[in-house]
Amino acid sequence: MRKYRLVAKKGEGTFSEVLKAQNVKDGKYYAIKCMKNHFDNIEQVNNLREIQALRRLSPHPHVITLEEVLYDQPTGRLALVFELMDANLYELIRGRRHYLNAQLVKSYMYQLLKALDHMHRKGIFHRDIKPENILIEGTGDIGRGLKLADFGSCRGIYSKQPYTEYISTRWYRAPECLLTDGYYGPEMDLWGAGCVFFEISSLYPLFPGTNELDQINRIHKVLGTPSPQVLAKFRQNGAAHIDFDFSHQKGIELSQLLPHTPSECVDLLTKLLKYDWTERMTAREALKHPYLKDLRELELRQQQQNSSSSNAQPKASGRHGSTLGSKSSGAKNTSSDAVTGGSSANAAGGAGSKALPNIGSNADGGGTTNATGTMGRKQQRLVQQGSLRGVVGQSQKNVGAQDGLPPIRGVTGSQKLIGGAVSGSTTYGSTSKSNVGSHGHSNHSNHSNTHGTHGTHGTHGTHGTHGTHGTHGT
């Protein structure tokens, strides 16, 4: 049976291509991420870091849901079927001339921090937090749910350093990623969250560097040059190409850049953007910040109401996090114009699989899919011809924590994920490549393009066209 009818090409990147598809049986829309890499066997598929991580994180109201894995063993083709969201945060603020509703910004940050806290408690860090990888329901001033996506770059918190040096998108790259040879950890996700926080508050990026040195210089212009004591921490594992003899810069008060925001907002932002990663606020600590007090209280009331109204039924959010603005996990978006802003997953294996293999037999790069994703013409034809079938499972070993993550129980014996082929009736229409990558930005070209000029950090300006932000690059 041909299960999916392809509707449009939504994005393309280095490692995969994202297609919008409709389930022929129920009419619901999904995002299908078709991998460019070939996989020799089922074990390689099950060891894919993105799949393993999201199996571990599932279910969670603020992590994108992977509905199904389609693998064709004879050809080595792999496609991941995700729930379809309306947009990503970049698309929400692109070209916007008026600030987002302050309560909406707060709600988005609360939901993002919920996702990060859950992920870090599960022993995983994302490594590519940016607006394009944060998906939302609705695009108006009254937003709803937010889900973190694109886990192709994630790593285990307890895995051995050094990591890949050039990870994450430059504008959201933490100082420890810029100044060391891969000695960083989950703290980098909070730096990225701080950059996103500023961007959705101001409508322009905080640190739109054009290269590594310019990136460092822009950070120093805003935060000031760190003290010799702080720089000494970085120098211990310093990158060979970095000269730590930085000229002194005083920095700018973040409140000057965000005059329209309350002091509690600026205080949280300041603590997320601490130059020294050891002083940076954790996601758990950030969730307790006074800025988010009203949302914590609202969530508590919701949980109490859910508990009192139905003692016999499981709570929608009591176990994993906030129901604020979030549709229930697994609910599908049937809007014909819904777009995919990301390419990651949550319940990898979807409704048909409970297999939970370990994260981490993939080295950086290698067989992983690094966020955006492409497929290529042959694979396009493959999907069009309906030859991708869901057959992931078989003999699944409980591989050791090779990526430094705590072990997850595997499933032995034959176990298939949801089957079915992709329909051949494909309509790409006139989708332009300006909406590329899983994020909808065009051609990030190794992160060197500009986000729209940052100017002097003065007026909020407009986000403009955000430059040409798209493909993740390395």
Please give the positions annotated as active site.
128
Question: Is the alpha carbon torsion for 97, 210, 274, 323 positive or negative?
Answer: positive
**Bridge partners for 22 per DSSP:** 5, 29
From its phi and psi, is residue 82 left (phi > 0), alpha (psi between -120 and 50) or beta? Answer: beta
Is residue 29 within 8 Å of residue 333, measured between CB atoms? yes
Tokens for 78, please give them. Answer: 């792999």
Location of structure tokens 């297609």: 19
343-363: burial string, b at 16+ Cβ within 10 Å, e else: bbbbbbbbebbebbbbbbbbe
Q: Classify 435 as helix, strand or coil.
A: coil
Please answer whether residues 32 and 51 qualify as being in contact, where contact means their C-beta atoms are separated by less than 8 angstroms: no
Neighbours of 144 (CB within 10 A): 16
Cβ atoms within 10 Å of 249's Cβ, excluding its own: 14
H-run or E-run covering 8? strand 2-12
The secondary structure of 347-383 as a DSSP string is STTGGG----PPS--PPSSTT---SS----HHHHHHH
Burial of 208 (0-12, 13-18, 19+ CB in 10 A): buried
Contacts of 91 (CB under 8 A, 6+ apart): 139, 339, 341, 440
Q: Is 424 exposed, middle or buried (0-12, 13-18, 19+ CB in 10 A)?
A: middle
Contact 417, 390 (CB under 8 A): yes
What is the rounded distance in angstroms from the CA atom of residue 11 to the CA atom of residue 343? 9
**Cα dihedral 244/247/250/253 (nearest 10):** -60
65 with 346: CB under 8 angstroms?
yes
**Nearest 10 degrees: Cα torsion 307, 308, 312, 313:** -50
Look at residue 92 and give its three-state secondary structure: helix
Q: What are phi and psi of 460, to 5 degrees?
A: -65, -20
